[in-house]
Chain A
């Protein structure tokens, strides 16, 4: 395997991208993603990236140019987050419908207002229904490795969809960790050249992105749904092949879709995404309560079957999420509930919203959640829908301000 070096997350992701040698990189700066564009720019300036680097005018055109290049048959890369991801949203949705693979790193950050540059998962969930595969990395190494897996899945001719590699802004982009970034030679044996099923080749004219009438649109959307569901197998295969070649194995017993840490037969479980899992692991390592961590690595396609397996026999589950869908509840919690509906185990499910816009989630916060999860289990009525969502980090004194008053 390659050498482990100390790298900041943004630089490590850029180095991983370099190893895939994309034909076109097109990106626009936004904190905390900026380091990725800057590092790629330096690599391009030093001749380390053979492809074209487009210094675009906006995320809107970063996504648009990636779409054009992908339609021409190129391997493309972009990176963004938050407001930038919102600005990409319109073209990104078409990348899915037009079945054009585009791989992007998303340095997750909250969405305005109020403006905040800090981490949460509101941006990723706002793109949830576009038809993009969405991975979540726990640490820098996983973020780098997921870039390779994402290309292999997104560019698979049977899938051909955009893919987002989510990594927590600042928490992962701005932290130095020892990482092993596979070199170009190693990556090229893992990741085959792209073989698009259609390109904008002038010698073989194609029409892409035409009008879909009611007679056909449903089928186009269904094809995206099918490709998404099918991608579960390709993710499993790609994650396993990655483990075989590079030695780093990610949740292979759950087809690469999720990872668990802690006792297999634990009574309690915590579900969370991304870097928060690292903190949770620390807390549960020698925790007196019988608790395990269940961490989806992918939210689209949704690991419903794997969640059912991982939570079988569990009495109570708490979902700790850095997002909320105003008017209902955290999306991850509602999706987990829907995955468990009708399954043999029906644990009590609690929904927690925390860590929004950079608010630190401490060991104590997690301890408190574990305690309440235990209480929920002891209530003795596990088959309950716990609709009430908890926002444990809410500061009541700030709520007294006029703008938040009813």
Chain B
């Protein structure tokens, strides 16, 4: 009997810019997004990060998962901090100090969760975009405040249960629709705006790369399911993300200079119900007639937007 081949004794992560060993939950899609993001930006990058799961799991002193220069200040101000970094480098270049010259190719990047982006940090983001800083803003959207224990954000979808939007006798979960942040970013005059999904990593990485080719502010929002907050099997993160795209709830598109230039077409768009069923956060919707109405409302919303975006292949 022949013995199986020896496995590699040590896996090498030497080239990784977001290294394993961090504290993310098993099956954390946002952590996957961090890895793809750094693969796309490369090492000549400075990240300014908002408080949130990805910051907390990756930076407990004296350890760090970051192979790129990285700073975290507070929850709401990652774009403000990035504005200062980028301005400093412009000043260094202008003053042509020897230590710092020719920073044209440095990628200035903000990474923030949906809470930091849609809610508390929106002023900081708006200011950064308005001033035209050459910064790529990447929002990893796990649709709630996961770091503090799954509270709703304005990215939380209608009907989702969170610890501050629980279903109850008078409640069917979150009672507002998801804020349209990509539209808000585009309205700021961002040269490049894209939505992405961790279910389609190549597409996500290409969008990061393409975004970086543009001058000025650019915005990429990547949906990244949180197995803890959405309640699904840790092995299913990528499938759940793909289902969001396949049902049309998470359309993937690119907006360049205000023009919609690309939409990933969906063949045989699946019913929203199929996506909702695979996550515990929507369980209560299937228990009552009113819950069914919310599901219908979501389906109507998706159908309308599919028309607008010409989503169906």
In the complex, what distance in Å separates the CA atom of A182 from the CA atom of B80? 32
Q: A198-216 CB contact bits vs B (8 Å, 1 = yes)? A: 0011101111111111001
Cβ–Cβ contact A68 & B88, under 8 A: yes
Considering only residues 127-144 of chain B, those with a C-beta below 8 Å from chain A are 127-128, 130-131
Considering only residues 108-144 of chain B, those with a C-beta below 8 Å from chain A are 123-124, 126-128, 130-131
The residues of B that contact A206 with a CB separation of less than 8 Å are 69-70
- Stretch in B54-62, B170-178, B203-211, B259-267 with 4+ CB within 8 Å of A: B54-62
The residues of A that contact B48 with a CB separation of less than 8 Å are 68
Cβ–Cβ contact B44 & A69, under 8 A: no
Q: B61-90 CB contact bits vs A (8 Å, 1 = yes)? A: 110101111111110110111111111111
Point out the residue from A65, A98, A208 that lies within 8 Å of B83, measured CB to CB: A65
Point out the residue from B62, B76, B86, B106 that lies within 8 Å of A202, measured CB to CB: B106
Cβ–Cβ contact A52 & B81, under 8 A: no
Q: Chain A interface (Cβ within 8 Å of chain B)?
A: 23-24, 26, 50-52, 54-58, 60-61, 63-74, 76, 90-91, 94, 98, 200-202, 204-213, 216
Cβ–Cβ contact A68 & B85, under 8 A: yes
Q: Chain B interface (Cβ within 8 Å of chain A)?
A: 43-46, 48, 55-56, 59-62, 64, 66-74, 76-77, 79-92, 94-95, 99-100, 106, 123-124, 126-128, 130-131
Q: A24-B87, A24-B88, A216-B62 are in contact. List 14 more A-B contacts (CB 8 A).
A: A23-B92, A23-B95, A57-B127, A60-B123, A61-B127, A64-B83, A64-B84, A69-B85, A72-B89, A73-B88, A202-B106, A205-B43, A205-B69, A207-B59
Cβ–Cβ contact A61 & B123, under 8 A: yes
Output the residue of B73, B76, B90, B131 with the most chain A CB within 10 A: B73
Cβ–Cβ contact B73 & A209, under 8 A: yes
Interchain nearest-CB distance for A289 vs B (Å): 51
The residues of B that contact A73 with a CB separation of less than 8 Å are 88, 92, 99-100
Cβ–Cβ contact A61 & B70, under 8 A: no
The residues of B that contact A202 with a CB separation of less than 8 Å are 43-46, 68-69, 106
Interchain nearest-CB distance for A211 vs B (Å): 4
The residues of A that contact B124 with a CB separation of less than 8 Å are 57, 60-61, 64
What 4 pairs between A and B have smallest CB-CB spacing? Answer: A68-B84, A64-B80, A210-B59, A57-B127
The residues of A that contact B106 with a CB separation of less than 8 Å are 202
In the complex, what distance in Å separates the CA atom of A231 from the CA atom of B87? 29
Cβ–Cβ contact A71 & B90, under 8 A: no
Cβ–Cβ contact B70 & A207, under 8 A: yes
Cβ–Cβ contact A54 & B100, under 8 A: no
- 27 A-B Cβ contacts within 8 A? A51-B95, A60-B76, A60-B77, A60-B80, A61-B79, A61-B80, A61-B83, A63-B77, A67-B81, A68-B48, A69-B91, A71-B81, A71-B85, A73-B92, A73-B99, A74-B84, A91-B77, A94-B73, A200-B69, A200-B71, A200-B85, A204-B69, A206-B69, A207-B66, A208-B70, A209-B72, A210-B60
